[in-house]
């Protein structure tokens, strides 16, 4: 979406919990052309992510940024900046 050099590439993810197909997790990742950052934008996340961990890590696994872990803050429209 947009025009070069300011395009945004959206990747949308829709998922259900594997053992009961009831709990939903819908979100998208926005990648920005020419910028070293991205966003995660939340849609419906059942139970507001009370058992979710959100973050990003490098390939080694030793360097990471944790946004949220086992809390209840993943509400529709929330944007996590990385």
Give the pLDDT of the chain (82 residues) as one tens digit per residue: 788 889 999 999 998 877 776 778 899 999 999 999 999 999 988 888 888 888 899 999 899 999 888 888 888 888 889 9
User: What pLDDT, on a 0 to 100 scale, did the predictor assign at position 52?
Assistant: 84
Q: Among 1, 2, 3, 5, which Cα is nearest to 34's?
A: 5
User: What pLDDT, on a 0 to 100 scale, did the predictor assign at position 24?
Assistant: 82
Question: Does residue 32 form part of some domain?
Answer: yes
| Euclidean distance between CA atoms 20 and 5, whole angstroms | 43
User: What pLDDT, on a 0 to 100 scale, did the predictor assign at position 15?
Assistant: 85
Question: Does residue 47 form part of some domain?
Answer: yes
3-state secondary structure of 5: coil
Question: Does residue 69 form part of some domain?
Answer: yes
| Euclidean distance between CA atoms 2 and 24, whole angstroms | 29
Question: Does residue 1 form part of some domain?
Answer: no
Q: What is the pTM of this model?
A: 0.79
Task: Look at the chain and report how many structural domains it folds into.
Answer: 1
User: What pLDDT, on a 0 to 100 scale, did the predictor assign at position 1?
Assistant: 77
| Euclidean distance between CA atoms 81 and 63, whole angstroms | 17
User: What pLDDT, on a 0 to 100 scale, did the predictor assign at position 50?
Assistant: 84
Structural domain boundaries, residue 72: 8-81
Question: Does residue 2 form part of some domain?
Answer: no
The sign of the torsion formed by the CA atoms of 43, 79, 74, 26 equals positive
């Amino acid at each position: 979406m947009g025009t070069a050099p300011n395009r945004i590439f959206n990747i949308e993810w829709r998922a259900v919990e594997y053992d009961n197909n009831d709990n939903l997790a819908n979100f998208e990742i926005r990648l920005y052309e020419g910028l070293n950052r991205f966003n995660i934008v939340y849609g419906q996340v059942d139970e507001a992510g009370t058992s979710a961990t959100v973050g990003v890590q490098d390939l080694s696994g030793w360097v990471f940024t944790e946004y949220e872990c086992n809390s209840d803050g993943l509400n529709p429209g929330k944007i996590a900046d990385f």
